[in-house]
Amino acid sequence: LLSACSTDAVSDFKTPSFMKKGLNAIIPLSEETEESAPVGKHEPTPAELVDANGACVAAGSNSAPAATAPTFEMSECSVVQLLGPPQKIEIGANELGDRTAVMYFSKGQRPGIYRFTDAQLKSIERIGEPAAPAKPQKPAKPTKQAPLRRAT
């Protein structure tokens, strides 16, 4: 952009103050910054986590959440408080080292596979959906039968 301007226009160009101070003035690079969590990364608290049995880890995590259905970003413990203990749970870590949990609920009103990353609900895969009610069948019309004949 500046190369298209005449040399007089370039000489009139004023450098913004943040550029004079350098990029480090805006984003300081230090050992502390490099080791801190990426922007927007959620660090789970004990109150949000469940153990290998599907129970809330922290004592005092017994208050029920305000939601009536699981919502994305809800904590592991909040989902368990809402739906009850899962029938199966898998706790591990992904390739980035983030905590992962997969809870399987086969009973209740919201059966499904609930996937968490860093204690936050990221996806729900519904399973065991109740079948749609069958349409009522109309009674069959009586068929006309031929009159019985006597054998002679």
Burial of 97 (0-12, 13-18, 19+ CB in 10 A): exposed
Task: Report, as an integer, the average pLDDT of 125-152.
Answer: 72
- The predicted structure's pLDDT at residue 71: 93
What is the predicted pLDDT for the residue at 59? 65
Query: pLDDT category, 76, cuts 50, 70, 90?
Result: very high
Could you report the per-residue pLDDT of 82-124, keeping only the tens digit for each?
999 999 999 999 999 999 999 999 988 899 999 999 999 999 9
Taking every pair of Cα atoms in the chain, the longest distance, rounded to a whole number of angstroms, is 127
pLDDT confidence band for 136 (50 / 70 / 90): confident
pTM of the model: 0.57
The model's confidence at residue 66, banded by pLDDT at 50, 70 and 90, is low
DSSP of 4-71: GS-HHHHHHPPPPHHHHH-HHHHS---HHHHHSPPTT-----GGG-B-TTS-BSSTT--SPPS-SS--
pLDDT band of 25, cuts 50, 70, 90: very low
- Mean pLDDT, rounded, for 127-137: 70
